Chain A
Amino acid sequence: MTAVTAGASESTTTASVRGATGTGTTFTRWLGAATLVALGALAVLGLVVSPADVVQGESVRILYIHVGTVWVAYVAFIVTALSSAAYLWKRTTSLTWDRIAGASAEIGVVFMAVTLFAGALWGRLSWGAFWVWDARVTTTAFLFITYIGYLAVRDLGGSHRQRARRSAVVALLAVLEIPLVHFSVKLWRSVHQDASVGDRTSDVTLDGLMLFTLMLALGAFTLLYAWWLLHRQRVLAMRDALDDKGLDRALAERRTEGVQS
């Protein structure tokens, strides 16, 4: 009985994790550097250089973070959904898709939490309300909860393939669910003619330097997401590889049970 790992997909993934001690590669180091530069520029522009809003004052600066992170959170969700579909699509299935989906969801949860927090803070500072019942905010909160459920499903145990299939299905069901939630909340709030309820971010007009800073925020956070995703996905691959090695050891131990008795 040899210790060869079964399945080409596992060994190619292990092979792609270069370096015995880390998940960094030349590409990720450049990407990381670019991310740092972008975030640094964002900090400077966002906090210092760009002007305060005429109406909202300094609190508009939170918007750079809020919009940046919500953008990434939705991108992460789409990546999770697409990766899940990719995993299920080709039945020969590489677990890499599953790990991308999982890593993206983990990162997405973090960005989602930041979004909700920053959004609540901004709402409080601008209009005195931490929360507003509109479609976008509510859907974002639901997406957050759905992510958490998805991650819980990933932790249910079983083999890697079982985890992959089960969570892929749950992710695709979430793709059904989220638009329905969004639409139903939108329809719901449109019935209530509350003047104060609405898409608040559109109340803020951004132009010139502020618009540029916002775009920079989107770019910087996207770079951060990409860098993080590459690393996290590799960590998950290493974890799976460790499980496989652990399996070989466990197999050897299991067989000695027979010899002893």
Chain B
Amino acid sequence: MDHHAEPVVELEDAVVVLGSFPALAGVDLVVARGEILLLRGPNGAGKTTLLRLCAGLLPLARGRGHVAGCDLTTQRDAVRARVGLLGHANGLYADLTVAENVRFWGATVGATPGEVDAALDRMDLSRRLATVPVNRLSAGQRRRTALACLVARRAQLWLLDEPHAGLDAAGRDELDATLRAAVGSGATVIVASHELERAGSLATRVVDVVGGQALALRGEGG
């Protein structure tokens, strides 16, 4: 089918300026559908900015980009509707319970109660934790809640910033399984991570982000 050939992300000389600092200094990147791409790089390299750019949150100062078939300069609203972002912050309302949060974020895309429950199940949050307010959860549990919100959104492109941080071993395996399942249902995943061993087990491709640019596109595995 034709649309499988169309890349999910296509960036050409993308420059993003935060204040007066060029966080992205000319990124060329192509991500095909169904990939799990790992962005690797030191702190301050621009991984977070790159993810936020692909989410449609940031304007391009120079260059061109397409995400999920929509132009990053003129169709940012459409881009956002098709992606899900899990940034450093969780995007949760601390006073509401886990279930209320997932229900709210699911409702923003019109998810049914069934889909919300499925998302909670997927992240193993249904039983004890669903009625606990988020501000009483551990960091790892909050991360899982944020992931459940992402699952409920059924996005075409998943953008995750250090998603493994704060999760225990079981949680990380669960996360990887969730990401593979998402790809299985047709999504594409981009993960920014320091976790080098994950590269081998999870990612289909690794890209190094250094100095605001995407370098050295490597092949399979680490």
Chain A residues at the B interface, C-beta cutoff of 8 Å: 1, 6, 157-159, 161-162, 243, 246-247, 250-251, 254-259, 261
Contact = CB atoms under 8 A, between A and B. Distances in A.
A256 B25 CA distance: 10
Contacts of A162: 59
A250 B20 contact: yes
A256 B210 CA distance: 9
Interface residues of B, number: 19
B20 A257 contact: no
Given A158-B19, A247-B17, A251-B15, A257 B211 contact: yes
Nearest to B74: A91
22 contacts: A1-B13, A1-B25, A6-B61, A6-B62, A157-B19, A247-B20, A247-B61, A251-B212, A254-B22, A254-B25, A254-B212, A255-B26, A255-B211, A255-B212, A255-B213, A257-B210, A258-B210, A258-B211, A258-B212, A258-B213, A261-B42, A261-B210
Given A159-B17, A250-B22, A251-B26, 17 more contacts: A1-B25, A6-B61, A6-B62, A161-B59, A247-B17, A247-B61, A251-B15, A254-B22, A254-B212, A255-B25, A255-B26, A256-B211, A257-B212, A258-B213, A258-B215, A261-B210, A261-B211
B20 to A, nearest CB: 7
Nearest to A248: B22
Q: Which applies to chain A's interface (DSSP): helix, strand, loop or mixed?
A: helix
Q: For chain B, what secondary structure do more than half of its interface residues adopt (helix, strand, loop), or is it mixed?
A: strand
Nearest to A258: B211
Contacts of B20: 243, 246-247, 250
The 4 tightest CB contacts between A and B, nearest first, are A258-B211, A257-B211, A258-B210, A254-B25
A259 B22 contact: no
Given A6-B62, A162-B59, A258-B213, A1 B26 contact: yes
Contacts of B19: 157-158
Contacts of B22: 247, 250-251, 254
A162 B60 CA distance: 12
Contact of B61 (A159, A246, A256): A159
Interface string B59-93: 10110000000000000000000000000000000
A254 B209 CA distance: 12
Contact of B59 (A159, A243, A251): A159
A54 B181 CA distance: 91
A130 to B, nearest CB: 43
A251 B211 CA distance: 9
Nearest to A256: B211
A250 B15 CA distance: 11
B213 to A, nearest CB: 6
A255 B22 CA distance: 10
Contacts of A161: 59
A250 B21 contact: yes
B14 to A, nearest CB: 12
A109 to B, nearest CB: 25
Interface in B198-217: 210-213, 215
A259 B25 CA distance: 13
Contacts of B62: 6
A161 B19 CA distance: 11
A259 B45 CA distance: 12
Nearest to B24: A254
